[in-house]
Chains A and B, each alone.
Chain A
Amino acid sequence: MKANQVPQDQSSLSKKSLKELCYAVDEDGKYTTALSSGWEPKTVALDGSMQLIQQRIEQAKHLVVNGQASPIVYFMEKSKMDLSILASYVSMWKWRVKRHFNPKVFAKLSNRTLKKYADIFEISVEELKNFKG
């Protein structure tokens, strides 16, 4: 890559006016660094990943509305977590967290347990309890 060809496309970095460092060669073939505001192929891939996350959130919401999953599933997806990450954050076994995905089990959870989840999701216990999708 030539230093004057380092791409300057729009990307999520530009929103925060960030630029990333790339390595490239100058006119004399010597290595130098140049800042890049983004590169389209990369943005395409990143957007794809973001869409996948969005789909998962929507799907979780749908399950909560239909009474097939507890709000924990929705907020887990919203925090870009999966079962093992969430279990690690609330310091519980995975099978226990998985049980809490069941709306019937969720309805019987103590406030103490709910608070553990709410704190990790950075919401209040009320918000967690009353989320209906």
Chain B
Amino acid sequence: MQVEFKHQQSAHCENGVASNLLKHQGIEISEPMVFGLGSGLFFVYLPFVKVNFSPAFSYRPMPGWIFKRMAKLLGIKFKRQKFNSAEKAQQILDQNLKNNIPTGLQVGVYGLTYFPDEYRFHFNAHNLVVYGKTDTDYLISDPVMQETTTLTHQELEKVRFAKGALAPKGHLYYPVYIPKDINWEKAIRKAIRKNCKDMLAPVPIIGVKAIRMVARNIAKWPQKIGVAKTNHYLGQLIRMQEEIGTGGGGFRFIYAAFLQESAEILKNEDLRELSKEMTQIGDMWRDLAVQIARVYKKRSNQQDVYTLLSKNMLEIADREEAFFKKLKKIV
């Protein structure tokens, strides 16, 4: 059995699944719009949590938050289910497919055989849509892939029941209620305000302040923990910023696209200008990644390269602070 489902590639899995599932219901919503309505632009630094032997950095909120905020703002209701038994999980999924409901799933990345080895690590909050089933396979629309793909029944069970942090437990979801009228203007304004509040939060490990904290630490790390470890931390920072899913520049370009789209809807020229500014900020992040990669490759011992990286990152923090203060005023 197979449901007619239009697959469209996206940068990030969460926005992509949301956008594809809603388009299936007749709501024209782009990936940047999902991201923006979910107040997705973020920066968080968790020095005490270790991921891949490095402190955790993220350019986005917790997995699932963008999706939930967007649905709440638009008044769309999703049915969500988790399971203790794999049989039950499969049964409900099959039933959905029989009823022509393409279904979103949370899965672990490690078991996704269509990804290159380098991308297969134990991260359990990836999202994809199942839109059909054959005797051996499930038909998969994974939004970060160019085309639709398949997983065998066994493979799908494995990724749905991956273990470790954020274990999916067979988590599935699909829209059950869509309001007749959606007030896009109001939703956009609210989402932008929320995003400004998050980025300007008076908390040292969140938003602009967190970017500053990382920047200052970069200057201190070489002496404190050695060059090798510093480089490893910096490598992780680039990965979080650029790895599959951010659309480049740690989601800054996706957000700029959202602002441009919003300028059209709200008929607000200031927003269009700010979109340009966000693009420039995204370019600054890209430049920083280039500089880090250079240091990383040479394994330079000079203290001043790290001071320079630190200085450049502080500059980005200043730009973002000024940006969100302006943005707050115009919406």
Task: Known A50-B118, A84-B164; judge A21-B239 contact (CB<8 A).
Answer: no
Question: Quick one: which of A61-111 are within 8 Å of B by CB?
Answer: 80-81, 84-85, 88-89
B260 on the interface (CB 8 Å rule)?
yes
B119 on the interface (CB 8 Å rule)?
yes
The reply to whether A24 and B248 contact each other, CB–CB distance below 8 Å, is yes
The reply to whether B110 and A41 contact each other, CB–CB distance below 8 Å, is no
Question: Quick one: which of B33-67 are within 8 Å of A by CB?
Answer: 52-53
> Measured between alpha carbons, how far is A31 from B36 in the docked complex, in Å?
14
**Chain B residues positioned under 8 Å from A19 (CB to CB):** 146
**Chain B residues positioned under 8 Å from A18 (CB to CB):** 116, 145-146
The reply to whether A45 and B235 contact each other, CB–CB distance below 8 Å, is yes
Q: How many residues of B are counted as interface, with CB atoms below 8 angstroms from the partner's CB atoms?
A: 54
> Measured between alpha carbons, how far is A19 from B247 in the docked complex, in Å?
12
Q: Which of A1, A12, A29, A35 is close to B118, meaning CB atoms less than 8 Å apart? A: A12
For residue B83, give the distance in angstroms from its CB to the closest CB of chain A.
16
The reply to whether B257 and A31 contact each other, CB–CB distance below 8 Å, is yes
Q: Which of A15, A50, A80 is close to B122, meaning CB atoms less than 8 Å apart? A: A80
B304 on the interface (CB 8 Å rule)?
no
Interface centre among A23, A29, A35, A44 (most CB of B within 10 A): A23
**Chain A residues positioned under 8 Å from B236 (CB to CB):** 45, 49
The reply to whether B253 and A88 contact each other, CB–CB distance below 8 Å, is no
The reply to whether B146 and A44 contact each other, CB–CB distance below 8 Å, is no
A30 on the interface (CB 8 Å rule)?
yes
Q: Which of A41, A50, A84 is close to B238, meaning CB atoms less than 8 Å apart? A: A41
